[in-house]
Chain A
């Protein structure tokens, strides 16, 4: 037993070697002392169970304490060496770091999400509806007259008798008004379809965001207020907006909202076709016929509605010149917008 204690004492002496050891020597020391097969201390610990019970406790206590001390010393020296090697300057710190792939949302999704978030701040929830829609919901309940030129701008794909691929998100106005009582305060993002061939600014399929507010006492001032607030939050807080007359069968009065061109600030440039303004959205007070068609009392309730095209807005804001880039899914395009940036 005293042999073992002596051996342990001798081993303890060797603790002083640890702080001087270089990387190689440290590896050797670890093997010599704590190595699983030939470690000196490992041997002693292995012998402990065969000792007399009273010795077992004494030797075991000392051996375990020594093991902890060695482990602590080894770990401390390892950390020291690691630091030293960095400080020693044998690393080229300009070498690139180890990366993972950067995922990202499609730019159009990002813009849709951002717009919906702003409207959430303004008290709107989101609603959805199907993409294959009845002519009734897509046109006639929205007060489109039958056989009227207003239908020309909405050239639609037919997928069944009286079933079209919706040409706008506005039919969800009808679905919402028929399913929920006022007050209604929703935005409706979604994909829409028009029979327009591809060109740099047209796509047969595109995204739209609709908005609908219906309650007692909702006025044109509320429309202007909400949409101006939206524009100033989406663009910059000093953005100038203007409202001018327009025509949609489902709103009366109708208004188009323009914002000062973000690129030329109004002096005229190719992006805004020299007008100094960018068309952002169409809007208006909900036509009483639409409310009546949905069983909402148009004398008691008034409301406003609006619709915008996130692709156009994204193109303006990010300087993307061709709408088809949104469909090509070239990762060199997609990854440009993957980095979080707002």
Chain B
């Protein structure tokens, strides 16, 4: 909502400093996002009076003017190109050295051989309007040399107010002025309408009409039928005859311009003025085009056509309320009228509508039509149901003042089920209870009454009458907020007090995520985050029903595809060495809601270590993959076994029969210079790995033996290791593979694998002979079971 500082000043009858207003509103009401100065860039412009004119010696269309701009040096000679320049008149004048809107600094220069000591300005040059046909004539008593801004009140500030969805009252100047008055002082009073008849506030036909608890009536020959009181609980109509539709007076156009609205014609501008002043959307339509003449407020028929003001042919549904004449819809209620019924230059008699439309009805309608207007925005949030007659009166006064015409009959106010203003009980003790400080009852009453609530004591409580413009206030907590914000949140202390610890245990799921992240970071991997939205990954992929785009229409089922895309992205940036991992949520279709769980995935490519001068660094290979996979599985799925894939190159992690992890080489769109790409993915379990148990440190020496073996084809290192372990019994502390040989010294299919075995007896020093004996036994077993023999050196 754009708020004009000048408009607020008019409502409050006092001057305001925009910055101060912004600051106070932000701290007590709603955030002011920006303060935009309007026309304050005209500070160098003066009022100039043309004393005499004569033709330019060298140009037919130019005039030489003698201008009095109040300067001590006397009148100045100025060249002017405008056809409307006349001696004796006053115009905006920019002297040499003045800065004009847009930041241009005016210099003295010769125009067709004659020096010009300044410039007379058009509306467009001042940024005041599109008019550039001539210079702007000023009708002002101000003396020549007066600052233009002091003579013509156009300088303003726009306050850009971020109005929350629950505060429709802040969508108009009166509502904002009310808040300003509550914190800065002042009384809100509607300004006099310039040129309006100084009619008293009673007795005129526009005065508050009697409410009719009926759904139909006639006003000045026009029949009004309220057939949809659910969609439109209250409808006030007036007929104004004999208006002259035309241009709005300056002041009205200026008011609207101040809030960024374009002037259209005096009738429409008057209704817009009331919209921005009182938050009451109004609609004026041409009585001559109204068949009947009747106004029927009813549910639209399914597929009923209407061409809205924006020129689009639309179809209505039975869920929408339409304002119709005797035959067909002329307005989509609360949203937009039709071109056909709109007020035009030819209109003389009009019907003025002041209605309350049910907020959710309007919301559904505008969403269904994809059509939002200033009116629908306000109806959707709830306008002041009780303030409608006042808004109607203001609108009538305004239209009559700016467009003429006559109200022959009081407006018709149809309100089949009138409502009283709501009362909410407030316990003053509860205010202190919730805010944590004592708030005196007097403070509560004062603060509430400052913004239009009426508080009356009732037992230990206050019965607080809620004004119609505050549909958001329905219970005690809402009133406590009013008290708290208007006193200011900053007055409350912020000292930490003792608290009771909570009953919720720290989430195991987050601990599991941290464990695996830390594990992979220690292994030199960088954490990535990939978008969970993408192309479908498998038949169980969860589809998004209303995606932003076709390529982001599914939820990911795995992390690896996303990570591969990130590798390609990095490759595109010519980065070759990559170790990325992600811990994230993945989804698959389930019964009802999708199933989701946490997954861990990593990708590896490029050098094993950063480049170093001391040695050539090899690229990551399958064995780096296996190491990282095992690291991840250890903490992500404690107890899972890593084993070779049944087919193909790679590994899987299994818990019982279930595969919980996969690792292997990956395909990608790789540049020629890229290394091989490997990846793994493991389902994250919330179970923590077993706590390590302390084993006493060895007090006896170990015996280390290297054993080189020849393995026939098909015998795995795992099988040999298993046999060694069995034979080694408790004395074999550890075994590691430290070499592999394939080559001409062995028969085809065979390979040599060397193990380093460490033996130890924790209780005593082992004798070499014992170890030899164990190794002999092991070799024998290996030969018998696996046909593995010792390799001759």
Residues of chain B within 8 A (CB-CB) of A219 are 433-436
Whether a CB of chain B sits under 8 angstroms from the CB of A263 is: no
Residues of chain B within 8 A (CB-CB) of A126 are 506-507, 510
Closest chain B residue, CB of each to CB of A184: B502
A-B contact count (CB 8 A): 265
Contact status B594-A132, CB under 8 Å: yes
A1-9, A14-22, A223-231: which lies at the interface: A223-231
Contact status A256-B31, CB under 8 Å: yes
A34-42, A44-52, A74-82, A237-245: which lies at the interface: A237-245
Whether a CB of chain B sits under 8 angstroms from the CB of A147 is: yes
Contact status A329-B528, CB under 8 Å: yes
Nearest-CB distance from B496 to chain A (Å)?
5
Nearest-CB distance from A189 to chain B (Å)?
7
Residues of chain B within 8 A (CB-CB) of A189 are 510
Q: Contacts A105-B521, A219-B435 hold; do A330 and B609 have CB atoms under 8 A apart?
A: no
Contact status B502-A247, CB under 8 Å: no
Distance of A83 Cα from B34 Cα, bound (Å): 69
Q: Among B165, B359, B531, B573, find the residue whose CB has the most chain A CB atoms closer than 10 A.
A: B165
Distance of A189 Cα from B507 Cα, bound (Å): 11
Contact status A159-B517, CB under 8 Å: no
Contact status B504-A185, CB under 8 Å: yes
B21-29, B635-643, B748-756: which lies at the interface: B21-29
Residues of chain B within 8 A (CB-CB) of A191 are 532, 584-585
Residues of chain A within 8 A (CB-CB) of B695 are none
Q: Is the interface of A mostly helix, strand, loop or mixed?
A: mixed
Residues of chain A within 8 A (CB-CB) of B698 are none
Partner of B485, one of A98, A152, A159, A245: A245
Contact status A330-B593, CB under 8 Å: no
Contact status B546-A242, CB under 8 Å: no
Nearest-CB distance from B530 to chain A (Å)?
7
Q: Contacts A104-B526, A125-B502, A189-B510 hold; do A159 and B573 have CB atoms under 8 A apart?
A: no
Distance of A219 Cα from B433 Cα, bound (Å): 7
Distance of A221 Cα from B477 Cα, bound (Å): 16
Distance of A123 Cα from B579 Cα, bound (Å): 36
Contact status A244-B434, CB under 8 Å: no
Contact status B496-A98, CB under 8 Å: no
Distance of A327 Cα from B31 Cα, bound (Å): 31
Whether a CB of chain A sits under 8 angstroms from the CB of B480 is: yes
Q: Among B524, B573, B596, find the residue whose CB has the most chain A CB atoms closer than 10 A.
A: B524
Nearest-CB distance from A183 to chain B (Å)?
4
Contact status B544-A158, CB under 8 Å: yes
Whether a CB of chain B sits under 8 angstroms from the CB of A295 is: no
Partner of B517, one of A105, A150, A220, A329: A105
B127-135, B610-618, B665-673: which lies at the interface: B610-618
Contact status A220-B434, CB under 8 Å: yes
Residues of chain A within 8 A (CB-CB) of B381 are 149
Mark each residue of chain B from 485 to 525: 1 if its CB lies under 8 Å from any CB of chain A, else 0: 10001101111110111111111011000100100111111
Whether a CB of chain A sits under 8 angstroms from the CB of B296 is: no
Partner of A287, one of B477, B525, B592, B609: B477
Whether a CB of chain A sits under 8 angstroms from the CB of B30 is: yes
Distance of A327 Cα from B544 Cα, bound (Å): 20
Residues of chain A within 8 A (CB-CB) of B525 are 101, 103
Residues of chain B within 8 A (CB-CB) of A247 are 164-167
Q: Contacts A104-B527, A159-B544 hold; do A224 and B494 have CB atoms under 8 A apart?
A: yes
B105-113, B214-222, B402-410, B547-555: which lies at the interface: B547-555
Distance of A126 Cα from B578 Cα, bound (Å): 32
Contact status B499-A285, CB under 8 Å: no
Q: Contacts A106-B527, A159-B545, A330-B570 hold; do A183 and B503 have CB atoms under 8 A apart?
A: yes
Distance of A205 Cα from B528 Cα, bound (Å): 14
Closest chain A residue, CB of each to CB of B481: A253
A24-32, A55-63, A332-340: which lies at the interface: A332-340
Q: Contacts A106-B528, A185-B502, A331-B575 hold; do A99 and B497 have CB atoms under 8 A apart?
A: no
Residues of chain B within 8 A (CB-CB) of A102 are 524
Whether a CB of chain A sits under 8 angstroms from the CB of B437 is: yes
Contact status A150-B526, CB under 8 Å: no
Closest chain B residue, CB of each to CB of A311: B529
Distance of A249 Cα from B474 Cα, bound (Å): 13
Contact status A124-B502, CB under 8 Å: yes
Whether a CB of chain B sits under 8 angstroms from the CB of A195 is: yes
Contact status A108-B529, CB under 8 Å: yes
Contact status A253-B594, CB under 8 Å: no
Distance of A224 Cα from B437 Cα, bound (Å): 12
Nearest-CB distance from B565 to chain A (Å)?
9
Distance of A169 Cα from B594 Cα, bound (Å): 18
Distance of A195 Cα from B547 Cα, bound (Å): 8
Residues of chain A within 8 A (CB-CB) of B30 are 245
Whether a CB of chain B sits under 8 angstroms from the CB of A255 is: yes
Contact status A109-B517, CB under 8 Å: yes
Mark each residue of chain B from 587 to 599: 1 if its CB lies under 8 Å from any CB of chain A, else 0: 1000011101000
Whether a CB of chain B sits under 8 angstroms from the CB of A68 is: no
Residues of chain A within 8 A (CB-CB) of B501 are 123, 183, 185
Partner of A106, one of B529, B533, B579: B529
Whether a CB of chain A sits under 8 angstroms from the CB of B580 is: yes
Whether a CB of chain A sits under 8 angstroms from the CB of B458 is: no
Partner of A252, one of B164, B478, B584: B478
Closest chain B residue, CB of each to CB of A338: B526
Partner of A123, one of B477, B499, B613: B499
Distance of A272 Cα from B226 Cα, bound (Å): 51
Closest chain A residue, CB of each to CB of B166: A247
Q: In B448-500, which residues have CB < 8 Å from any A CB?
A: 475-478, 480-481, 484-485, 489-490, 492-497, 499-500
Residues of chain A within 8 A (CB-CB) of B542 are 132, 159
Mark each residue of chain B from 111 to 138: 1 if its CB lies under 8 Å from any CB of chain A, else 0: 0000000000000000000000000000
Contact status B570-A125, CB under 8 Å: no
Nearest-CB distance from B792 to chain A (Å)?
17
Whether a CB of chain A sits under 8 angstroms from the CB of B566 is: yes
Q: In B536-587, which residues have CB < 8 Å from any A CB?
A: 542-548, 552, 555, 566, 569-570, 573, 575, 577-580, 584-585, 587
Q: Contacts A96-B612, A130-B596, A334-B526 hold; do A225 and B496 have CB atoms under 8 A apart?
A: yes
Distance of A153 Cα from B162 Cα, bound (Å): 13
Contact status A186-B528, CB under 8 Å: no
Contact status A150-B166, CB under 8 Å: yes
Whether a CB of chain A sits under 8 angstroms from the CB of B360 is: yes
Residues of chain A within 8 A (CB-CB) of B478 are 252
Residues of chain A within 8 A (CB-CB) of B476 are 288
Partner of B546, one of A99, A157, A334: A157
Whether a CB of chain A sits under 8 angstroms from the CB of B363 is: yes
Residues of chain B within 8 A (CB-CB) of A106 are 526-529
Contact status A331-B613, CB under 8 Å: no
3 residue pairs, one from A and one from B, having the closest CB atoms: A219-B436, A221-B436, A101-B524
Q: Show 28 residue pairs from A and B whose CB-CB distance is below 8 angstroms, ordered by the A residue.
A: A125-B507, A132-B542, A132-B596, A149-B363, A149-B380, A150-B166, A157-B546, A159-B593, A163-B594, A180-B502, A181-B503, A184-B502, A195-B546, A195-B548, A213-B499, A213-B502, A219-B436, A221-B435, A224-B489, A225-B494, A243-B489, A254-B481, A273-B33, A273-B34, A288-B475, A330-B573, A332-B575, A334-B527
Q: Which residues of B contact A (CB under 8 A)?
A: 26-31, 33-34, 164-167, 359-360, 363-364, 380-381, 433-437, 475-478, 480-481, 484-485, 489-490, 492-497, 499-507, 509-510, 514, 517, 520-533, 542-548, 552, 555, 566, 569-570, 573, 575, 577-580, 584-585, 587, 592-594, 596, 609-610, 612-614
Given A149-B381, A246-B31, 11 other A-B residues pairs in contact with their CB atoms under 8 A: A100-B610, A105-B521, A109-B527, A123-B499, A125-B505, A132-B555, A185-B501, A220-B434, A222-B436, A288-B476, A329-B566
Q: Which residues of A contact B (CB under 8 A)?
A: 95-96, 98-106, 108-109, 113, 122-128, 130-134, 146-150, 152-153, 157-160, 163, 165, 176, 180-186, 189, 191, 195, 197, 204-205, 213, 215, 217, 219-222, 224-226, 228-229, 242-247, 249, 252-256, 273, 285, 287-288, 302, 326-332, 334-335, 338
